[in-house]
Amino acid sequence: MKFDTAAGTNPIDAERVVGQPLDRIDGRFKVTGTAPYAYEHHEVAPDTAYGYVVGASIAKGRIARIDDGAVRRAPGVLALVTHQNAGELGQGKRNYAKLLGGPEIQHYHQAVALVVARTFEEARAAANLLRIDYEKAEGKFDLEALAASAPPVEGSSGEGSQAPPVGEYGDFEAGYAASEVRLDQRYATPDESHSMMEPHASIARWDGDELTLWTSNQMIDWGVTDLAETLKIPKEKVRLVSPYIGGGFGGKLFLRADALLAALGAREAGRPVKVALQRPLIPNNTVHRPATIQRIRIGANKDGRIQAIAHDSASGNLPGGKPETAVAQTKALYAGANRMTAMRLAELDLPEGNAMRAPGEAPGLMALEIAMDEMAETLGLDPVEFRILNDTQEDPEKPGRRFSQRQLVQCLRQGAERFGWADRNKAPGAMSDGRWLVGHGMSVGYRDSPVMTSGARVRLGTDGVVTVETDMTDIGTGSFTIIAQTAAEMMGVPIDRVAVSLGDSAYPVSSGSGGQWGANSSTAGVYAACVKLREAVATKLGLNASDIRFEDGQVVSGDRRVPLADAAREGEIVAEDKIEFGDLDKQYAQSTFAGHFVELGVDRFTGEVRVRRMLAVCDAGRILNPKTARSQVIGAMVMGVGGALFEELAVDKRHGFFVNHDLATYEVAVHADIPHQEVVFLDDPDPLTSPMKAKGCGELGLCGVGAAIANAVYNATGVRVRSYPITPEKLIDGLPQVA
């Protein structure tokens, strides 16, 4: 099915099932512990051995010598994989560094060996016996030292966040110089880790020359493609299975070392092998959100209308890597005739920087939305009104290209009213509650809403049950449920008469989970397959496909009502299709918007920050399931608290690694840090996005939260922090003096 014109009225609009706040159909499996994650598929291979990964202890250089004698003599050891016996390997196009290092070492904790043994304990013990001599080389590990000289680059997150090396529209320098009020500030965001609960894990089994991999991966087809390319075997010889994923946040979009090493280990040992990256390896061995150094300049007239805006960002990555596209949202968020964005990329020898939830917009808005608050204060305008004054209904860099739907003003107006924004004290440091200085802050959230081709297969069984098969994944987002709701709506059956099978490369290729495209694209693919199934059912029953309804388990045409199951009386009916998108996203800017509001307290003695309440008002098209969508947004808001106040991978600039590479020392937000959260959806279908008229919201809920917290901290204390995270030592010297 081709989607290249605006969606008209269709069966989804009935919203008997779609749009309802239904419980997750996989919830009972999660709470009972019967949802098997990648490492827990014990039934697929009772003779599974265990692999233990050894990571490089240098950040740059080469392996001079490997002494593996003690390893091979150790109890229970079945195999050892290193670059010396792995055979010739390729490299997937989505990996910047080799997943098995040697002899060259590209970053700290790059995998250099896998020890395979009968038990995990034997594998771990033997791995400690491996002796590797390295020739260490000088590396580059300091972004701040290299940012100013870093060359301009273009970049794309692959998720709709993109920008040229330098993009100028109008004449920024002239417009800025002529502006009556000007701002020029620098901001910084740190390296961050995904810190998902489930580690990267895989079980590999070879059947002759065919490989099956049970793994934790967000994008099944990408994984199959890159694993086949790395192993240099035909793609049809590889099967990936990933039905349940315990969090990914972008860290599992791509093939990682656990998958490759499990496959190599199983081939070398001659039996299935399971591998889970031990927690201290994950931040350095896999990917992370790169740090940024950003400069924002805004010029406005005294009435508050922006005349010129510029955003420059520098980030670092391995050779061949991409920049963090932190300037992307500035291209489209606010009006202004004179505009400039620039991205620079420093070549670093730190681990690979890549997609982390809302790449580009998340760190970019952490800077831009502080700058907007600073400019509002300079102009003497309310921060909400300043943003509304500079709203636009068309792409500022492509005049005439309107947004398919942009209700940012409604988000801000409704958010301000619900939050009680008008009652806040505008003067910084003027509100207190005992020992707590109280502050209020807000920001705008923005995230593009890309779509991807997505396929599905739908079966109508003789028992009337509708089964959906697609390689779409559920990373804790509720994919099982919204896909079931879509099929139930289209086929006119209760949701308990729908079975959903996900995460298997044997099924049709879907959009996968990433980039905020998953919900809209994958359900649109199911919609397309169901349209074909409806046609096949009509033909089987001798009905006119253009004049029938599917409702209450029956097919209705005029006065005739036939049980749906009757169509499959002689055998199941199978239909398969995919949704392919035309150029509507080029004709119209397709984006999502939010207004974020925060109240917090800052301890006047210690500088400790405690968030008290949070509100997000979101404009994200039709909401397919308000309950699961809310869960996505409040989870994103929690991540925003962590990014604002705690999260930072500390870089050892001498030896080139992230020091706090475990959950004990890399701090994330916990239950005690999270207050009352309120989420409001405008829930207005957007017919230009897909037949579902939906968009994504799981990354929108993160974008802007950090800046809302930073702005609230300023309102509470009068201390403006422009470098995240906002820790007590950055506040303490500026707090009011106490006796």
- Return d(Cα 461, Cα 458) in angstroms, integer: 10
Structure tokens at 133: 């001599």
Question: Please, which contacts does 134-137 make with residues 24 or more away whose CB atoms are closer than 8 Å?
Answer: 134/56, 134/57, 134/58, 134/61, 134/62, 134/63, 134/64, 134/105, 135/61, 135/62, 135/63, 135/64, 136/58, 136/60, 136/61, 137/60, 137/61, 137/62
Among 347, 572, 699, 729, which one carries the catalytic annotation?
699
Measured in degrees and rounded to the nearest 5, phi and psi for residue 124 equal: -65, -45
Question: Would you tell me how many other CB atoms lie within 10 Å of the CB of residue 665?
Answer: 12
Give me the sheet containing 573-581, strands edge to edge.
2-3, 573-581, 454-460, 466-469, 498-501
Amino acid letter, residue 574: V
Report the alpha-carbon distance of residue 277 to residue 104 in Å, rounded: 21
Tell me, rounded to whole angstroms, the distance of Cα 717 from its chain centroid: 33
Residue 699 is among the residues annotated as catalytic for this protein: yes
* Bond before 234 cis per omega within 30 degrees: no
In whole angstroms, give the CA distance from residue 592 to residue 636. Answer: 15
CA–centroid distance for 376 within its chain: 31
Question: In angstroms, what CA-CA distances link 607 with 21, 160, 599, 676, 725?
Answer: 40, 38, 16, 21, 13
Q: How many CB atoms lie within 10 A of CB 125?
A: 18
Distance from C-alpha of 130 to C-alpha of 74, rounded to nearest angstrom:
10
CA dihedral 350, 355, 358, 364 (to 10 degrees): 40
φ, ψ for residue 591, nearest 5 deg: -140, 165
Q: Count Cβ atoms below 10 Å from residue 582 Cβ, excluding itself.
A: 11
Q: Which residues lie below 8 Å from residue 501, measured CB to CB, with a gap of 6+?
A: 243, 467, 468, 469, 470, 507
Strand 432-433 relative to strand 436-448, pairing: antiparallel
Q: Is 347 helix (H, G, I), strand (E, B) or coil?
A: strand
Question: Cα(first)–Cα(last) distance of the chain, in Å?
Answer: 71
Question: SS3 of 241, please?
Answer: strand
Q: Determine the Cα–Cα distance for residues 166 and 152; give it in Å rounded to an integer.
A: 7
Write out the two tokens for 357. Answer: 């939830």
Do residues 274 and 50 lie in contact, with contact meaning Cβ atoms separated by under 8 Å? Answer: yes
Task: State residue 564 phi and psi, 5-degree precision.
Answer: -55, -40
* DSSP-derived secondary structure for 553-581: TEEEETTEEEEGGGGGTTS-EEEEEEEEE
Phi, psi of 148 (to 5 degrees): -65, -30
Amino acid (1-letter code) at residue 307: Q
Main-chain dihedrals φ then ψ at residue 626, nearest 5 degrees: -60, -30
Q: Which amino acid is at 593?
A: F
CB atoms within 10 A of CB 739: 2
Contact 618, 593 (CB under 8 A): yes
Residue 170 — left, alpha, or beta (φ > 0 → left; ψ -120 to 50 → alpha)? left
Residues carrying an active site annotation: 699
